[in-house]
Structure 1
């Protein structure tokens, strides 16, 4: 099975493709409900990269915001690619295996990350491989995600910051804990030729296919940021809920001086909040206004079956909960995170 056959399989299961991604398989309420139990989402925005060579750990350690050299075999970490101003440009998941480093770049930022890494390989004994087309990524989210995985793959579940490689169809599935919704779940990376069989096995164990539209709604409700949307040029990790992907103990990487300065001073100007919107703002509208002054930046906007139109945003600290804002002429109100429907999971 190649990428075309993979797309065709998902379309045959009711997948609605838009912009190269499956946005939905069913109605939004049904899919959001599935993500509370065991919703399986193809992650077409994820780019799989592989680093090999004797210098791979040292090289990547100097390129990203989190520890790499100290990773043991089987360890997993989230890390960011920053610019010289410390802005969060891309989020990635790092997995150290015996003979390589597997890197899953999120949010469609794979081309940018690959180009920057490639430009910095000079005398290093490192080879960079793009596995797009060879591998597929999915996420299984919900309270029953672990039970479904165990029934389908007959394997032990990984602990936090660890991953396992489970034998499947003569190859292996890489499984790690990644929270993309309030109840959390697992990311899965599998050979394209085995992706259909994996979906069928998980469905047989109780999972339901879900599109990215519902995943965005669940992620926003839980207050989980994505660098491609909540971060980007002009936004620091600490302003976008991405600080967990930064290590303050390491040095010598792009943006490190800014991170050290923030640690020393202990504050930034903005924070991640939720927004309730009257409607979806016009495409490209990002500036959040309070009494005509720019006070923040809009991130992910999602339609939620219980919450209505909601969003994540980075706003100045003085803008409190309940404050009225405008974005692209659309009224918005600041709301605490997580939103109410997600709090039932985070309070457990």
Structure 2
């Protein structure tokens, strides 16, 4: 079972590619193995999320996998910070496609006991594969050349599953999607991307990056007023304001299968009644994952 992912992509090359990316992103790329994959965000100076990406560290490049349409804006941002760095950026969005294989089943050459990033031979070519949890259990993202798509999909076989079903599974599992849930402009701890969330995308020990000072304050004080929760209700509008007794208490993401993920104020209790764009809903709290700060 596999799902096509709307995607865009950047490739960083040059001698300074890893150090340059390290100074821009929240994840610890330098500390990752080669090959390896790191979930990360790119923040503004106020610590708010501008982009979410998965960064693949490879022998000769860094590959950034992003949601559809994100690559040109991230490339423009990164170029503003290139001064003396030996780094080149290339937008590969038109050349590459991505599918997610649920559970990683049926991927020829994939080693379930191997690293999180692997190269596999598929349909007569080399395909980049990454272990990614998109539906509540680890699956495999496959990144391949657009011209390879018919052969790659034929080699996978199985059943194509629509993006709506993948969204329903990830919302049930409590896994946020920054773009699809409309969480751009929020803080990482507010939307499940902190070290205790289901999609950790930050290291507090990696050194400086844009927005790092704000994140360090949040870690030290532990005073984020919002966190990620689920809302249950039928017909909830996407990306709508969440209110309780007429007061704004958060924002909802994408609605799927009777549920939405939401950035909610922490004082809201399990089972509490709220409204999403005027539609009744019930709060479902998510259980944090115990984790030492990375």
TM-score by length of 1: 0.77
Tell me, which stretches of 5 or more residues in structure 2 are unaligned?
195-199, 288-294
Give runs of aligned pairs for residues 95-106 of structure 1, distance below 5 A: 95-106=56-67
Which of 317, 326, 329 is the equivalent residue of 2:278? 329
* Alpha-carbon distance change, 254 to 155 in structure 1, aligned in 2, over 3 angstroms: closer
Does 2:175 align with 1:224?
yes
The one-character-per-residue Cα deviations of 1:254-280 (angstroms, maximum 9, x if unpaired) are: 110011111111231111111012313
Kept after mapping to 1: 8 A contact 2:189/2:224: yes
The one-character-per-residue Cα deviations of 1:269-319 (angstroms, maximum 9, x if unpaired) are: 1111110123132x6x521111111111111211x2xxxx21000111110
Give, in angstroms, the shift of residue 158 of structure 1.
5.9
Give, in angstroms, the shift of residue 155 of structure 1.
4.0
1:156 alignment counterpart = 111
* Secondary structure class of the residue paired with 1:289: strand
Kept after mapping to 2: 8 A contact 1:158/1:164: no
Q: CA RMSD in A?
A: 1.7
Distance across 2 between alignment mates of 1:337 and 1:196: 39
Distance across 2 between alignment mates of 1:134 and 1:54: 24
2:292 alignment counterpart = none
Kept after mapping to 1: 8 A contact 2:41/2:50: yes
Which of 84, 88, 99 is the equivalent residue of 1:127? 88
Tell me, which stretches of 5 or more residues in structure 1 are unaligned?
1-38, 339-348
Distance across 2 between alignment mates of 1:109 and 1:231: 14
1:31 alignment counterpart = none
Give, in angstroms, the shift of residue 230 of structure 1.
5.1
Kept after mapping to 1: 8 A contact 2:72/2:91: no
Kept after mapping to 2: 8 A contact 1:227/1:242: no
Kept after mapping to 1: 8 A contact 2:233/2:259: yes
Give, in angstroms, the shift of residue 123 of structure 1.
2.0
* Alpha-carbon distance change, 119 to 270 in structure 1, aligned in 2, over 3 angstroms: same
2:27 alignment counterpart = 66
2:211 alignment counterpart = 255
Kept after mapping to 2: 8 A contact 1:230/1:314: no
Kept after mapping to 1: 8 A contact 2:2/2:161: yes
Give, in angstroms, the shift of residue 329 of structure 1.
1.4
Kept after mapping to 1: 8 A contact 2:13/2:62: yes
Distance across 1 between alignment mates of 2:241 and 2:70: 22
Which of 100, 108, 120 is the equivalent residue of 1:139? 100
Give runs of aligned pairs for residues 204-215 of structure 1, distance below 5 A: 207-215=158-166
* Secondary structure class of the residue paired with 1:208: coil
Instruction: Report the structure, 1 or 2, having the larger helix content.
Output: 1
TM-score by length of 2: 0.90
Kept after mapping to 1: 8 A contact 2:122/2:155: no
Which of 268, 271, 278 is the equivalent residue of 1:319? 268
2:131 alignment counterpart = 177
* Alpha-carbon distance change, 88 to 159 in structure 1, aligned in 2, over 3 angstroms: farther
Does 2:75 align with 1:75?
no
1:238 alignment counterpart = 189
